[in-house]
């Protein structure tokens, strides 16, 4: 079973990184239940140190960078194709939110670029991701991104995302991943706007997507 770290919602400064806030949860991930941070949501004024330059490979086998996605707001999720429950649930959550938002504002159809960045490049080849991202119930324009382990480590650092390989005797591969389960909302220039966790319903996310489409805030 995938073991996943959930977070509450944050607005972050460059001096207070998401990875620093999540780090204390890693020791608690040796259980099969998602880990939720206790207490109220943490809000810190200022600009988040989330997002930046990266180089990856898409599910068609093409080399891409963050520049290839400039021009459209993005919804980005870090997960992996062999994740049995948490990742597909989050991607379905994303798809449903977009569907609800589109019902409220038809111009949202195709407005957001959706992306899955793997934390498991060893198994998630472009070919594997091509099959995975086409699954029913996922966003219709979902792009799968992989790369070398070094490239994945670099993009995780850029987004302060957690994705740690851990032994799992019950898995055919002998391992799974502890990973944060966050949907990042980035603007059309790739700058951080907001994030969503399992605490946000598709309706919550849809409302935010409609508001951001209208106001850019």
CATH of residue 40's domain is 3.40.30.10
* Among the listed residues 4, 1, 80, 36, the one whose alpha carbon sits nearest the alpha carbon of residue 200: 36
Q: Kindly report which listed range (37-41, 95-99, 113-117, 159-163) carries the lowest average pLDDT score.
A: 37-41
Backbone torsions φ then ψ of 108, nearest 5 degrees? -75, -20
User: Do β-strands 183-186 and 192-196 pair in parallel, antiparallel, or remain unpaired?
Assistant: antiparallel
- Residues 175 and 166: beta-carbon distance below 8 Å: yes
- Residues 184 and 11: beta-carbon distance below 8 Å: no
Specify the higher pLDDT residue, 209 or 168: 209
Beta bridge partners of 94: none
**Interval 78-104: pLDDT, tens:** 999 999 889 999 999 999 999 999 999
Number of domains in the chain: 1
Q: CA-to-CA distance for 198 and 203, rounded, in angstroms?
A: 12
Q: CA-to-CA distance for 159 and 184, rounded, in angstroms?
A: 9
Q: How far is CA 92 from CA 17, 85, 142, 188, in A?
A: 27, 11, 11, 23
End-to-end Cα separation, the chain, in angstroms: 37
Q: CA-to-CA distance for 59 and 116, rounded, in angstroms?
A: 10
Specify the higher pLDDT residue, 3 or 109: 109
* 106 has pLDDT over 70: yes
Predicted pLDDT at 11:
35
User: Which pLDDT band holds residue 48 (cuts at 50, 70, 90)?
Assistant: low
Query: What is the average pLDDT score of the chain?
Result: 83
Predicted pLDDT at 172:
82
Range of the domain at 157: 3-215
């Amino acid at each position: 079973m995938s073991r996943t770290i959930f977070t509450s919602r944050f607005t972050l400064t460059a001096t207070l990184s998401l990875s620093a806030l999540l780090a204390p949860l890693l020791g608690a991930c040796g259980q099969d239940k998602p880990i939720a941070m206790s207490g109220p949501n943490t809000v810190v004024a200022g600009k988040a140190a989330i997002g930046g330059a990266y180089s990856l490979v898409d599910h068609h086998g093409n080399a891409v960078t963050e520049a290839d996605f400039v021009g459209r707001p993005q919804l980005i999720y870090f997960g992996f194709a062999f994740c049995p429950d948490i990742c597909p649930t989050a991607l379905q959550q994303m798809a449903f939110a977009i569907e609800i938002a589109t019902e409220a504002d038809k111009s949202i159809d195709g407005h957001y670029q959706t992306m899955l960045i793997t934390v498991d490049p060893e198994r998630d080849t472009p070919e594997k991701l091509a099959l995975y991202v086409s699954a029913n119930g996922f966003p219709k324009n979902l792009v799968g991104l992989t790369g070398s382990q070094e490239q994945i480590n670099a993009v995780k650092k850029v987004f302060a995302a957690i994705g740690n390989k851990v032994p799992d005797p019950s898995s055919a591969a002998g391992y799974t991943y502890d990973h944060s389960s966050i949907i990042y909302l980035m603007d059309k220039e790739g700058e951080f706007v907001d994030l969503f966790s399992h605490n946000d319903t598709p309706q919550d996310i849809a409302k935010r997507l409609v508001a951001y489409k209208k106001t850019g805030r």
